[in-house]
Amino acid sequence: MIRILRNLARLVVILRTLGRHDALFARELMDVAPGLGMLARLLSRRDVPGRPGQRLAAALTELGPSFIKLGQVMSTRSDVVGDQIAADLAQLQDRLPPFPAEEVRRIIESEFGVPVEELFESFDPTPTAAASIAQVHFAVLPRDAWPAAPGEAGGSGEGVRHGAPGYGLVSEAEDDIHRREVAVKVLRPRIEEAFRKDLDLFRWLSSLALWLQPRLRRLKPAQVVETFADTVKLEMDLRMEAAAASELRANFAGDDTFKVPQVDWDRTSRRVLTLQRIRGFKIDETESMRGAGIDPDLVLARASAAFFNQVFRDGFFHADLHPGNSFIDLQGNIVAIDFGIMGRVDRATRTYLADMLLGFLNGDYRRVAEVHFQAGYVPPHQSMETFTQACRAIGEPLLNKPLHEISIGRLLAQLFEVTERFEMETQPQLLLLQKSMITAEGVGRILNPDINMWELARPLIEEWMRENRGPEARLAEDLAGALRTLRALPGAVRQTEHAARTINEAGLRLHPETIALFLEAYGAKRQRMIWRLWIATMAVLALLAWALG
């Protein structure tokens, strides 16, 4: 009862806030739930400017951290909220007032058990960025801590902004300090409890919505909430973000065109993350780049190659590389920060993506349809010809546009719009990738609006296809599969022998509940058999009576 009352009180606040921003989507609700649509219409203002997604983003920002994060997760679900609303929600900025420096010190010292002065030579109490989950402070490591190599890009936390036109022309003492500079990310106090309460509210609201209107099931509210819960769970442990940064850094070892800050594991824990601090330009500061002699077209080519390598080569990609998380050093190399949202795609999905992208770029819509059926995304009972026609309807308009105006992210969004018509199951990893593609395309157009970054990556995709889809690659894959089977065979044989020996020595023992289920099933089956025997007997007797009569 307490839970219901608490959630009802919070629900009133949510409805008032959404209504004040005209973000209750009254018209859309009228189509699926007329009663809720009428209530939404009564609560909504009529004079609020902006698109529906912009109004929703403003309301979520006012409702606080949990709702901001929920909006960011919803921005990856264009299949649920639509393409335009997803794009508007992707612009949500989770900047909040900072929490006091005393709390920062308390959290750090409780995590490591020593004073801040023992961990850092200096620590700036003024945060450089404050977001919904954590805030970031700059610090300098002691001289005996790990040093970054000269010229190596460091890292920072969320939203660090500072140019460095002249960096490198410093004294030896200043250069020594630069190599020891770090950014320290600290979780907000009591943030776990705040999110726990809101997650309970979101789960309750999703179940309430389905109970009131089962037709809302197609929007998958429970699945959206669980996706959000999984995301928050990872972000609440900064060791997971550190591990993501470390893995991405290892994937690009030896490639200076895309850099990832080094993790200071000695000063990283569940609530504290310490990374090298970076110095450079934000990736959208094109005029500053040109002033430093950096060609934005070169940066765009490197961004395209880095995205390809993350998705196709490694199957592990940074899913939130907006301009605030991408910096350019003085050599024109890209440096990424903020690794709270990462995506993975397995080998089968990468193959599907390569086939699908090349099919659309080449106008081969039959091939696009075939890869969807081969991947199992479209059920086999659907019509290949009709789905090919749908792919043509999506891709053909692209052929009439200049290459630089083609958006692969938008193309994927339109492709997801036909999922319900062809009974395609939602693929969460592709939705996250689609969001990342749209973000990457936006950055690409800032760097040079006349160049399509996917065309720059096309040779890399085709080369990957030759290496991974040719006869030699398929033979190697078949041999690897056979080898895995051979390796697993002895274990399977041992397990079979053990099971047979156990049954032979001790008999087959069943759990009491299993026995009860067997008896119940047997009783029902026996009852059906008796009825069938009785009916058959009566039929035979009736037939004999008719024959003898």
* Exposure class string for 140-177: b at 16+ Cβ within 10 A, else e: bbeeebeebeeebbbbbbbbbeebbeebeeeeeeeeee
Pairing of strands 258-259, 334-336: parallel
Q: Exposed, middle or buried, 511 (CB in 10 Å: 0-12/13-18/19+)?
A: exposed
Beta strands in 188-336 (DSSP E): 258-259, 272-276, 281-282, 316-318, 326-328, 334-336
String of DSSP letters for 336-373 = E---SSEEE--HHHHHHHHHHHHHHHHT-HHHHHHHHH
Beta strands in 166-285 (DSSP E): 181-187, 258-259, 272-276, 281-282
Active-site residue identified among 320, 329, 338, 355: 320
Alpha-carbon dihedral angle through residues 16, 17, 20, 22, given to the nearest 10 degrees:
-100
Whether 175 is catalytic is no
Whole-number Å distance between alpha carbons of 195 and 207:
18
Task: Give me the phi and psi of 139, to 5 degrees please.
Answer: -150, 170
* Distant-in-sequence, close-in-space partners of 351: CB < 8 Å, separation ≥ 6: 468, 469
Residues annotated catalytic, as ranges: 320
